[in-house]
Structure 1
């Protein structure tokens, strides 16, 4: 029997995000078993964005499947600030997620900063963002008991690269992307820039691309720097950098955007984190692995972050997030 005309060539493996999500869910459930009661995540919805509502519903479903409690609180824009402050001091609330945009301006950034750092499952507060860019992985660098929370979508991309063994566990912790050259198409402050920074902090050479140009994120020659540095490249285009990359990650939100797959090197790994299809079916003719979406992983990472917050608050030796700290991962130093 001949293969269907639209079948992927045997050289390309299409990897669905559910496989990564299922593995992470098993680890999350191990962590929940160490707790006296289900972790309680509260979501705040203060807009009429259908995508935000869908994300909230997906979050609720995933919470319930993994033994978490989820409460969606729909509030008006004028009431969202007080609602967040109230949840900060509510002992029954373990984690807070706010569905943006609300005001779609700097006021949204203000709201991100008033979420208590001990309940910020999205890792958007200033302390977490500062530590992420400075390559500081603990809230308490001296004792190293309280690990920093990383933004969910960037971390979901990283968990997928770990699953695909792009991270080299033979190399020392913190250097496990050394030798990889990665292109990230999207430099938003929410996903693209943090992702480029995280990848570079782990040793990769990262070309960060958006409509304003291309930036190069590295830790310097031979990884001599502790944290990444950024070089703004002049007179350099996408066609100049993509053929150098063994991994290409794209997250452009526009439905009209399509990545030019003719630029890919043979055997590149391609990941799409946009809700839109950035790669056409022809990507399978060049890529060795193609991940068409990451949404399921993002939500499980949210639950992992909540377990991390609970672990950080506990003074005993029972660590509910320990189940997610597999050797070779971004979080585990062993």
Structure 2
């Protein structure tokens, strides 16, 4: 019997229905949340991701306020755009799409973003609040993983969880979120979390002891079936395009499905949740800026 499929597309669709209801309710206060995505250059993957955000904004009744800049834009010009969006009351949330061209400083752009509009959750103030246990904005991919675990009633409290990857955008914030005491309205927490990475000794010993494995290494083939305890849940955050154009995740061993108890597919797992949670953060930002209680 194969692993249960954790359907990110269906979960994201249900979340968007809820978000659309929240947007309608904000409209009664004269508030229309607006998301501004700043795209520098013509990176194909970033173009696709930004277009997805724009389509999803329209579906839930939000404004999409994209900013497209030439790849040769200077750091000062980029920061001027961020400053303008910070000051624009029509903009509830701002994201500076990564990766940026090599000559630009992404950290400076993140730090320049108004922390109450930083729906990526990368401003030091928001990262610090997550660490402190009272998050304002949780980065979208970690939040999406947490919502999937909650939706499928995967036991997290007291569980042993391995997060494979230590990026600032996924691995580190996800480990913090899963190990913390859940905040009011938060999806999951209270796990015992081990963060593994390229310098981890005997990686398989850690993963085989895990009830849940989140694979966010950015490397195809990072997890194989012999590294998974029977019945464990595997959340695959990675996404890669093969030579034939097909998509696959960090988990490429098809026999993982025979060992795991539950597994996210790629595509159709974490990916749809990431965009949807960005919308969730934007609605939350609009409420905060209007002085309304965050929900």
Distance 1:111 1:103 in 2: 13
Q: In the alignment, what sits opposite 2:177?
A: 198
Q: In the alignment, what sits opposite 1:58?
A: 52
Indicate conservation of the 8 Å contact 1:242/1:264, yes or no. Answer: yes
Which of the two has higher C-alpha Rg? Answer: 1
1:37–1:134: structure 2 CA closer, same or farther, 3 Å change rule?
A: closer
Q: TM-score by structure 1 length?
A: 0.76
Secondary structure in 2 matching 1:34: helix
Matching of residues 294-309 of structure 1 within 5 Å: 294-309=270-285
Matching of residues 82-121 of structure 1 within 5 Å: 82-104=80-102, 107-121=105-119
Establish whether residue 239 from structure 1 lines up as the match of residue 204 from structure 2. yes
- Higher deviation after alignment, 35-44 or 185-194: 35-44
Shift of the alpha carbon at 1:105? 7.5
Q: In the alignment, what sits opposite 2:289?
A: 313
Deviation string 1:174-209 (CA, Å, 9 cap, x unpaired) is xxx332011111111221111111111121111211
Shift of the alpha carbon at 1:159? 0.8
Q: Which runs of 4+ in 1 moved over 3 A?
A: 103-106
Match of 1:285 among 254, 258, 273: 258
Deviation string 1:85-114 (CA, Å, 9 cap, x unpaired) is 011111221211110121447821110011
Shift of the alpha carbon at 1:47? 2.6
Q: In the alignment, what sits opposite 1:273?
A: 237
Matching of residues 1-334 of structure 1 within 5 Å: 10-35=1-26, 36-76=30-70, 77-78=73-74, 79-104=77-102, 107-137=105-135, 148-167=136-155, 177-201=156-180, 202-213=189-200, 236-255=201-220, 257-276=221-240, 277-279=249-251, 280-292=253-265, 293-315=269-291, 322=295
Distance 1:315 1:189 in 2: 29
Distance 1:149 1:197 in 2: 13
Indicate conservation of the 8 Å contact 1:42/1:73, yes or no. Answer: yes
Unaligned residue ranges in structure 1 (runs of 5+)? 1-9, 138-147, 168-176, 214-235, 323-334
Corresponding residue pairs, total: 268
Give the root-mean-square deviation of aligned CA atoms: 1.7
Shift of the alpha carbon at 1:65? 1.2
Unaligned residue ranges in structure 2 (runs of 5+)? 181-188, 241-248
Secondary structure in 2 matching 1:300: helix
Q: In the alignment, what sits opposite 1:222?
A: none
Q: TM-score by structure 2 length?
A: 0.86
